[in-house]
Structures are given as structure tokens and as C-alpha cells.
Amino acid sequence: MTRYESQQCLPEVGAKGQALFSQAEALVVGAGGLGSAVLPVLAGAGCGRIVVIDPDRVEEGNLHRQKLYRMVDIGHPKAECATRALTDLNPDCRVQAHVARLDPVLARQLVPQASVVVDAADSFAVTYALSDVCLSARVPLISASVLGRTGYVGGFCGGAPGYRAVFPDLPLQVQTCATAGVMGPVVAMLGTMQAQMVLSVLLSHEPNPLGQIMSVDMAGWRVSSFRFDGASDP
């Protein structure tokens, strides 16, 4: 059995879809909890090139949800550790690390080169900046956020409305995983959903995940979804 045989036998993937994966470039912003779930799936599926951006280093207190890393990685840059792990997982995948915080200059440099952008950063400022650049460049953006036992994942830009069309204003109070806590399985679930949306976008599957948000509430065991195709960008 070849590496990709199990997914290639799906009629909605096939050899043509696998070729699309191998030609794709995914820009993943954030290599923390969400990124740890997204990145191995994309590399395992055969994404030809992955660019990872993250300014932080691996910390022991994050390993419960950042399962891409091991104890030996503590103190080392996440982007570099992720690159090594993904290369070990699939040598066919070319991975580039940027140990840096995403700013508008770097975003305008990297986003237009990408087939799809993954927002796995724990920062609303990064999300809004990415959406603005992706909307202008017409590059799909798959964004997710998780806190406690709840979260959401959505497809923006690339022909769909941007993030501001659904969330026009920054929240007045912003909690983080460090201050409010988070459950590892919920992070993994939302990150895996992000990865599935990325692969569906690359394959142009219908219904298109762009213009759709899925919410997950593992405290109340509820999953909901809505589309925002007709929303206006402010």
C-alpha cells in the first residue's frame, strides 16, 4: 500500500485530488494547540509545501494540548520543532519555519503565495490582519478559536466574506487559554476540523466550507452551523 492509497481510493479525491495536494502551499499561522492538530494532518495528506509561523517556544504547561511536541522540545522554537516533526512524518512535504510574530508586512509577503491560509494563532489581532490581507488577495482563510470546552471553525475570504463580516468588532474582554483554561480534546477537534476544511477547499468540494461557520460546545454536547455567504464586509 502506498502512503496515500487510502485517501486516493475515495472518488472525491483520486489521483487528481492527490496531485492538487502535492501542488498546494498551506500557510499555517500558529503552531500551538490548533496548529499541532492541523499540521500533521496536512503533512500526512501530502500537502506539497507548508509554511509555519510562530514566535514562541515549547513549554511543558502546553503539552497537554500541543501534542506535536515532546519533552525534549521544551525551550526550543515551536516553528522549528514542528518543521522537524512534519519532515519525519512525511519527507515528501517541504516545510519552512518562520520563528516570528506575524505582522502586516510579513502577511502581505507570504499570503499571496499560499493556496490556503490557516489561522491557528491565539490572537484576534492576527486574525483580523490575516483576514484583511486574504480578502484583498482572494486567498481562502480557515480560522478557528477555542476556549474551555467550546470553539468554532470557519471558512473566510477566497470569494467568501471576510472575518469582519461576521465579527466586525473586537470583543471588549479577551480571555486566553492561559487565563480561562482549555481542554485538549476540544482543541484537537477544532484543529482537525480546520484541516478538513483546508483539504476540502483544495479539492473544491461542495458544499464549499468557505462562507460557513461550525460551532462546537462540548460542555453541552452541541454542534451547530450557519452560512454567511451574503454578509457584507464593513
Distance separating alpha carbons of residues 204 and 39, to the nearest angstrom: 20
- Which residue, 212, 233, 230, 234, is CA-closest to 152? 212
CA neighbours closer than 13 Å in the CB half-sphere of residue 173:
3
C-alpha 147 chain-centroid distance: 16
In three state form, how does the secondary structure of 93-126 look?
CEEEEECCCCCHHHHHHHHHHCCEEEECCCCHHH
C-alpha 47 chain-centroid distance: 13
134 is catalytic: no
Crossing angle of helices 78-89 and 33-45, in 10° steps, is 30
Catalytic residue among 9, 47, 157, 177: 177
Residues with catalytic function: 177
